[in-house]
Structure 1
Amino acid sequence: MIKKVSQLTEEIKNELITLNEYILNNPELGNEEIKSCNAHIDLLKKHGFAVKENYLDIKTAFRAEFKGSKPGPTIGYLAEYDALPEIGHGCGHNILGTTSTGAGIVLSKVLSSIGGKVVVFGTPAEETCGAKVDMADKGAFDDITVAMMAHPADHHYKSGDSLAMEAIEFTFKGKTAHAAACPEEGINALDAVINTFNNINALREHTKSDCRIHGIIKEGGHAANIVPDLAIAQFYVRATTKSYLKELVEKVKNCAKGASLAAGTELKICNYEYSYDNLVTNQNLSKAYCKNIKKLGVEKIHEAKESYGSLDAGNVSHVCPTIHPYFGISQNPIVAHTTTFRDATNQPFAYENMVKTIGALVLTAVDVIENNNLLHNIQEEFKTTEK
């Protein structure tokens, strides 16, 4: 199977390079990826996939399916293709999406002999509002046996974790007054914001060390001689598990409620961005992937990177067993979200590892389809892992 998968990947390599270069040269921000989305769809249709466009009423999302000759597990590959402002594909989503679509196409060509189904998901706006969140909430991944994707990086890394995150906005409403002539007539909304920060800083002593709470004052008044009647603060609250995040968020909200009560303001609490679940790597699936990419010539796979950020792939991992490993695109140290990283995605070394990564993603899918014991272990782990 290794030889067959490698041969099939080489056969479509030039098509994948063309796709990658097109998306690289036509960077589009989240939910604006019309050209990128259509380029993926066109290639998948060319290789026999049935594609649902405007998937779940998300303009630049898609679901592309290919069924094997007999029933079996359903493999999901997650494709991203949004760019960053100014620098374009500094996070490498051009080659990330190309790798997922490539894996889907190659797997589709072996399903006639092993059965099962492959689904490639076009998932917009990872850098901003994370379409995978909506897609997970609307049931997009409910029928997926396992989901996989691989992100470009400086080296090959095992799939790790990410923090669950909730984005909370506190709006405090007070009352204006002349800050010098009659301050007693005013209700200072900015005081409530400042005390919210102070309360949260006191809370940090009693939170787990791997949590993160960070925020800004979005609005705090317009003139020093006017008591601010409106002040807004925004916070990201992050934790290693969704369950602890829920507990921590309530404590943060209480910090704001106490500050509002002390200042005498009215308080409105809302979410200003989507909430992200923590990424839960399925270790049995991850071990299978690592074993396969080593078979394809990758000698060194680094341990998972310590992460204090958040990914919308985390929401997928709460619905079905998921991995999110990284593959190297440069022989020199590079940092993501830079023009150097962007340029590295269109070099021979990056394509060499893209091919190996596609092979590993496909071979891992074949293992899941053919090895009932592996599939059982993956599913049992998913059921029992804390989320």
Structure 2
Amino acid sequence: MKQNLEGKLQPIQEKLWDINKSLYHNPELGDQEFESMAKLVAFLEEHQFTVEKGVVDRPTAFKAVYDSKADGPTIAYLAEYDALPGVGHGCGHNLIGTMSVGAGILLSKIIDDIGGRVVVFGTPAEETNGAKVPMTENGLFDDIDAAMIVHPAGESHESGDSLAMDAIQFDFRGKSSHAAASPEKGINALDAVIQLFNGINALRQHVTSDVRIHGVITEGGSAANVVPDKAVAQFYIRASNRNYLNEVVEKVKGIAYGASAMTGADVIIDNYELSYDNMITNQTLSKAFTHNLLKAGVEKVYKAKDTFGSIDMGNVSHIVPAIHPYIGFGVPDLVAHTKEFADLTITSKGYKMLGQGALSLAFTGYDLITDSNLLAEVKAEFQQKRE
């Protein structure tokens, strides 16, 4: 049956490749991916998927379903298609979207014979305000048995971990005054932001080594002779698991309130982007995918690499067994979020990757549907890690 899947790739690969190149040449930022979504949805509908657009109140999100009408597991593939400002598809989301859509279509071609259901989720804005977060919060994954995505990289790696992340904004409000003539009448909001940075720098010595805290001042005054009455700082705060991140965030908020008390400036604290949970890789599912990646022709798959980034796939992994592995261009020193990375997605290496990634995802979906023992092991590991 897997040979049957391989044979069904060729008739759709050229169309997938055309979509991939179109996304590359017409990059769209998060939550603005209207044309990208339309191309992916149209191809799914062409292959008899039932598509719901605008799910979770995100106009460029979608849920596409092919149901065999026979009992069996529900397998989900996640498509990303947002680009980066000034870079384009420097994270390869044009390939991610087409690989996942391709996998869904491939599996749909045999699912009537083996039972079950295949779902392709269109998940906008992974780079900023990931739609997978409200999707998990609104129950879209509650009836999913396993969720998968594969990400381009310099080399192929097994699915690993990611850091939980909160994006916190600190908005300090003081009182303006002439900085030379009557400084005593002013309350300096910028001083509060500077004390916030100083306090966070002192905190770094007293958190675990996995913690990452990095921020910028987005507003800090407009003229040197005017006491700034408003100053704003934005931070990403990350840690290896959600519970510890919550502790660190409370400490940082405490520093902000201290800075407020020291300077007299009021502070408003809120999240300026959605929070990402840490990725919990299902190792049983990961091993099955790695086996299929090799079967699809990838020569070498390395162990999971250390990462200090954050992905909204982490939120999915807290709800359902999930993996987020990497498929390589064969360029070990490749740096993501660069024009060089984007350009590789439309080369012969990208074409090969598209086919191998779609096949590997489809193979793994087939294994989960047809091997009840594998699915039971995947679910048992998931339950054990939740307890």
The two structures have a TM-score, normalised by structure 2, of 0.96
Amino acid at match of 2:90: G
Partner in structure 1 of residue 215 of structure 2: 215
Partner in structure 2 of residue 123 of structure 1: 123
Q: State percent identity of aligned pairs.
A: 53
Q: How far apart are residue 133 of structure 1 and its match?
A: 1.5
**Do structure 1's residue 167 and structure 2's residue 167 form an aligned pair?**
yes
Q: Quick one: distance in 1 between partners of 2:386 and 2:183?
A: 52
Q: Quick one: distance in 2 between partners of 1:352 and 1:221?
A: 52
The Cα offsets for residues 161-209 of structure 1, whole Å up to 9 and x where unpaired, read as 1111101111112222332333222222222111111111111111010
Q: Quick one: distance in 2 between partners of 1:384 and 1:332?
A: 35
Give the 3-state SS of the residue equivalent to 1:110 in structure 2: helix
Whether contact under 8 Å (2:24, 2:88) holds in the other structure is yes
Partner in structure 2 of residue 147 of structure 1: 147
Q: Quick one: distance in 1 between partners of 2:281 and 2:269?
A: 32
Whether contact under 8 Å (2:155, 2:332) holds in the other structure is no
| Alignment RMSD (CA, Å) | 1.6
Q: Quick one: distance in 1 between partners of 2:86 and 2:255?
A: 37
Give the 3-state SS of the residue equivalent to 2:41 in structure 1: helix
Q: 1:9 to 1:212 in 2, by over 3 A?
A: same
Partner in structure 1 of residue 39 of structure 2: 39
Partner in structure 2 of residue 62 of structure 1: 62
Q: Quick one: distance in 2 between partners of 1:174 and 1:92?
A: 44
Q: Quick one: distance in 2 between partners of 1:216 and 1:352?
A: 40
**Do structure 1's residue 301 and structure 2's residue 301 form an aligned pair?**
yes
Partner in structure 2 of residue 252 of structure 1: 252
Q: 1:241 to 1:332 in 2, by over 3 A?
A: closer
Deviating more after overlay: 86-95 vs 207-216? 86-95
The Cα offsets for residues 218-273 of structure 1, whole Å up to 9 and x where unpaired, read as 22222222222222111111011011111110000001111111112212111111
Amino acid at match of 2:383: K
Partner in structure 1 of residue 180 of structure 2: 180
Q: Quick one: distance in 2 between partners of 1:5 and 1:35?
A: 29
Q: How far apart are residue 154 of structure 1 and its match?
A: 1.2
Q: Quick one: distance in 2 between partners of 1:343 and 1:236?
A: 29
Q: Quick one: distance in 2 between partners of 1:26 and 1:194?
A: 40
Q: How far apart are residue 339 of structure 1 and its match?
A: 2.3
Matches within 5 A, 1:67-82: 67-82=67-82
Q: How far apart are residue 333 of structure 1 and its match?
A: 4.3
Q: How far apart are residue 329 of structure 1 and its match?
A: 2.7
Q: Quick one: distance in 1 between partners of 2:204 and 2:278?
A: 20
Q: How far apart are residue 83 of structure 1 and its match?
A: 1.6
Give the 3-state SS of the residue equivalent to 1:99 in structure 2: helix
Deviating more after overlay: 340-349 vs 261-270? 340-349
The Cα offsets for residues 323-342 of structure 1, whole Å up to 9 and x where unpaired, read as 11111234574322222222
Q: Quick one: distance in 1 between partners of 2:357 and 2:38?
A: 23
Q: 1:222 to 1:331 in 2, by over 3 A?
A: closer
Give the 3-state SS of the residue equivalent to 2:209 in structure 1: coil
Q: Quick one: distance in 2 between partners of 1:380 and 1:363?
A: 21
Whether contact under 8 Å (1:33, 1:82) holds in the other structure is yes
Q: 1:69 to 1:182 in 2, by over 3 A?
A: closer
Matches within 5 A, 1:1-387: 1-330=1-330, 333-385=333-385
Give the 3-state SS of the residue equivalent to 1:86 in structure 2: coil
Q: Quick one: distance in 2 between partners of 1:51 and 1:345?
A: 27
Q: 1:353 to 1:218 in 2, by over 3 A?
A: closer
Whether contact under 8 Å (1:328, 1:350) holds in the other structure is no
Whether contact under 8 Å (2:99, 2:354) holds in the other structure is yes
Q: Quick one: distance in 2 between partners of 1:374 and 1:61?
A: 31
Q: 1:328 to 1:263 in 2, by over 3 A?
A: same
Q: Quick one: distance in 1 between partners of 2:115 and 2:87?
A: 42
Amino acid at match of 1:168: I
Q: Quick one: distance in 2 between partners of 1:265 and 1:57?
A: 36
The Cα offsets for residues 139-163 of structure 1, whole Å up to 9 and x where unpaired, read as 2212111110111111111111111
The two structures have a TM-score, normalised by structure 1, of 0.96
Q: 1:206 to 1:332 in 2, by over 3 A?
A: closer
Q: Quick one: distance in 2 between partners of 1:331 and 1:255?
A: 43
Q: Quick one: distance in 2 between partners of 1:123 and 1:156?
A: 23
Q: Quick one: distance in 1 between partners of 2:25 and 2:64?
A: 24
Amino acid at match of 1:327: I
Q: 1:211 to 1:331 in 2, by over 3 A?
A: closer
**Count of aligned pairs between the two proteins:** 387
Q: How far apart are residue 22 of structure 1 and its match?
A: 2.1
Give the 3-state SS of the residue equivalent to 1:234 in structure 2: strand
Q: How far apart are residue 356 of structure 1 and its match?
A: 1.9
The Cα offsets for residues 84-103 of structure 1, whole Å up to 9 and x where unpaired, read as 22332222111110000000
Q: 1:87 to 1:193 in 2, by over 3 A?
A: closer
Q: Quick one: distance in 2 between partners of 1:287 and 1:55?
A: 32
Amino acid at match of 2:132: K
Deviating more after overlay: 244-253 vs 29-38? 29-38
Amino acid at match of 1:162: S
Q: Quick one: distance in 2 between partners of 1:332 and 1:168?
A: 34
Q: Quick one: distance in 1 between partners of 2:23 and 2:144?
A: 27
Give the 3-state SS of the residue equivalent to 1:12 in structure 2: helix
The Cα offsets for residues 128-147 of structure 1, whole Å up to 9 and x where unpaired, read as 22111222222221211111
Amino acid at match of 2:249: V
Give the 3-state SS of the residue equivalent to 2:222 in structure 1: coil
